[in-house]
């Protein structure tokens, strides 16, 4: 199976999006200070690491936040993440639906301003 970062980047690039891929949340935070983004997508294999990073990102950014977690993730932990982000999706999501979810997260965030 392809790593989430790879197919997520491909799915967004296919829609004409400029994608910056980083391997650590510190790199993401640095990139956010240097460039303007419309959406932040975090992909994780571990829900606990995700929660920690989501807290950091949410405290420093107002960007819409989409999180991609493994389909096998702990449902209780997953629901906690879902309350903290604009969009929570499973890595089992069909690629064509990822763009739909991203558009929904962007529209929802814009409506709240």
Could you tell me if 89 and 110 are in contact, meaning their C-beta atoms sit under 8 angstroms apart? no
Position 5 pLDDT exceeds 80: no
**How many domains, in total, are found in the chain?**
1
Structure tokens at 33: 């200070």
> What digits encode the pLDDT tens for the residues 28-57?
899 989 988 888 898 888 888 888 899 899
Could you tell me if 35 and 20 are in contact, meaning their C-beta atoms sit under 8 angstroms apart? yes
Domain encompassing residue 56 = 4-111
Write down the pTM of the prediction.
Answer: 0.82
The CATH number of residue 15's host domain is 3.40.50.2300
Structure tokens at 96: 């064509």
Structure tokens at 49: 């690491």
pLDDT recorded at residue 97: 92
Structure tokens at 19: 């994608």
């Amino acid at each position: 199976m392809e790593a989430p970062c790879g197919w997520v980047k491909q799915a967004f690039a296919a829609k004409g999006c400029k994608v910056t891929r980083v391997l650590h949340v510190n790199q993401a935070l640095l990139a956010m200070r240097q460039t303007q983004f419309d959406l932040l997508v975090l992909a994780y294999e571990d829900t606990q690491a995700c929660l920690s990073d989501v807290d950091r990102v949410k405290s420093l950014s107002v960007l819409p936040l989409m999180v991609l977690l493994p389909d096998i993730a702990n449902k209780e932990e997953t629901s906690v993440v879902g309350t903290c982000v604009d969009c929570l999706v499973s890595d089992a999501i069909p690629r064509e639906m990822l763009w739909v979810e991203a558009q929904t997260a962007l529209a929802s965030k814009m409506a709240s301003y």
